[in-house]
Structure 1
Amino acid sequence: MTNKTILQLEDGALFLLALTLYIKLGFPILYFFLFLLLPDITILGYRHDPIIGAKLYNLGHTLVLPVALTFISLFTSTSFLLAVSLIWAAHIFMDRAMGYGLKYSDAFKHTHIQNL
């Protein structure tokens, strides 16, 4: 098994974990599926140019922001932010499980997962 396959399996498992936590915490499952693809709005940066597109896309597809939202939700007892962070993280895990990854500015289809 290659490193790429191992990482994709891990991300698939993390997607299932995020979905399970979302359901277990009692958040509406309809919202999960309605907003699951919302982070892909960052692809609109590519309408301007590939460099801005890659930076905006990567900002929306890194786990730093969902993790920060999780911490904020825990310290402020704001369940809405926790729901958002779980959906956002699930999206990232789903993308990476399917082989999509952080973008390089030379081409939209050139991702960090391809280099594994």
Structure 2
Amino acid sequence: MNPRTLVRLEGALVGIGATALYVLQGRSLLLFLALILVPDLSMAGYLHSTRVGAASYNAVHTYLGPGVLAAAGVLAAVDLAFGVALVWTAHIGADRLFGFGLKYADREFGDTHVQQL
């Protein structure tokens, strides 16, 4: 199997897994729907420049942010933080499934790390 397909399958697994965990914990579906596209607000950086857009998009489209938020939520016993981290993780997983990857500062928006695989 080629790497691009593997990245997409990983995205599917992560996105479905995070969503399933969110639902199985009995969390608010309304909150899920309200938050699922929030990470895409980071695309507003492209209004300034490709470099700023890529940096802002990449900052919120890696698993680092939701991983840190989930850990902080668990350690500080802030359940909402863990729930938000699950939604954020589901968003990133769905992006990878559909071929949206991390951006390059010197390339078009659609030219991502997934296309380079």
- Structure 1 length normalisation: TM-score? 0.96
- Which letter maps to 2:9? L
Measured after TM superposition, the shift of residue 3 of structure 1 is 1.5
1:109 aligns with 2:110: yes
What is the alpha-carbon distance in structure 2 between the residues aligned to residue 35 and residue 70 of structure 1? 15
5+ long unaligned stretches in structure 2:
none
RMSD: 0.9
Q: Structure 1 or 2: larger strand share?
A: 1
Instruction: Identify the residue that residue 17 of structure 1 maps to in structure 2.
Output: 17
- Structure 2 length normalisation: TM-score? 0.95
- Which letter maps to 1:5? T
What is the alpha-carbon distance in structure 2 between the residues aligned to residue 55 and residue 10 of structure 1? 23
Measured after TM superposition, the shift of residue 34 of structure 1 is 2.1
- Which letter maps to 2:114? I
Taking every aligned residue pair, what percent have the same amino acid on both sides? 37
Measured after TM superposition, the shift of residue 2 of structure 1 is 1.5
Q: Structure 1 or 2: larger helix share?
A: 1
Measured after TM superposition, the shift of residue 60 of structure 1 is 1.0
5+ long unaligned stretches in structure 1:
none
User: Which 4+ residue blocks in structure 1 deviate beyond 4 angstroms?
Assistant: none
Measured after TM superposition, the shift of residue 13 of structure 1 is 1.3
